[in-house]
A and B are shown apart, each in its own frame.
Chain A
Amino acid sequence: AQSVAQPEDQVNVAEGNPLTVKCTYSVSGNPYLFWYVQYPNRGLQFLLKYITGDNLVKGSYGFEAEFNKSQTSFHLKKPSALVSDSALYFCAGRGNYGGSQGNLIFGKGTKLSVKP
């Protein structure tokens, strides 16, 4: 069965420090991977995606993510956290095999808290 795991329920970071939100995946075939952010009582906003190519993907609001095939990971990173980055972050993925594509599977989410 395909799955996306976010091992941390919450990540706490001081403003100005680097942040990492972890994600690992298990999908069939080549992975398509995404990060979304959700603010309270709002829908999910797309941050970035990995389809193919460079392992370091740059996205919105200064976020980036590193794809690591050997570790089946796709961790979200930002060099310098802002208080306004505090939100719920979701990793999502699906596999691409032989022209078929599965449904997008979401992790359970990681709450990021950035303190001043």
Chain B
Amino acid sequence: EAEVAQSPRYKITEKSQAVAFWCDPISGHATLYWYRQILGQGPELLVQFQDESVVDDSQLPKDRFSAERLKGVDSTLKIQPAELGDSAMYLCASRPTPSGTGERPQYFGPGTRLLVL
């Protein structure tokens, strides 16, 4: 069964450093999402891509976060500089194009757990 791949699984960094996370969605999934999940809370959307285009980045802190999906396949989320409050799980999800029968679910990767010291 195809899965969303993410790396690294864990990342420890010091504040003010730069970090980057990588996501490879399920093949053929045009829509890709990055979420941030703080411990004890549900995921919150950071950015949504449709192919290589950003559809929604209204919740992305653009002063320090950036995301790209240059060829419309895999994606990178970057934080520079990292702050203590960025410690969280970063989840990537992908979704196939909705079919004639309706809405399709999002499929999540295992996540990258970030700890900023």
Interface residues of A (CB under 8 A from B): 4, 32, 34, 36, 41-46, 49, 51-52, 90, 92, 96, 103-104, 106-109
Given contacts A43-B111, A45-B108, 5 further A-B contacts (CB under 8 A): A42-B111, A44-B43, A46-B107, A92-B42, A106-B43
CA distance A25 to B79 in the complex (A): 32
How many B residues, CB 8 Å from partner? 22
Nearest opposing residue in chain A for B104, CB measure: A49
How many A-B contacts at CB < 8 Å in the complex?
A: 50
Collect the chain A residues with CB atoms within 8 Å of residue B45's CB: 103-104
Given contacts A51-B103, A103-B56, contact A43 B42 (CB under 8 A): no
Interface residues of B (CB under 8 A from A): 4, 6, 40-45, 48, 56, 91, 93, 102-103, 105-111, 113
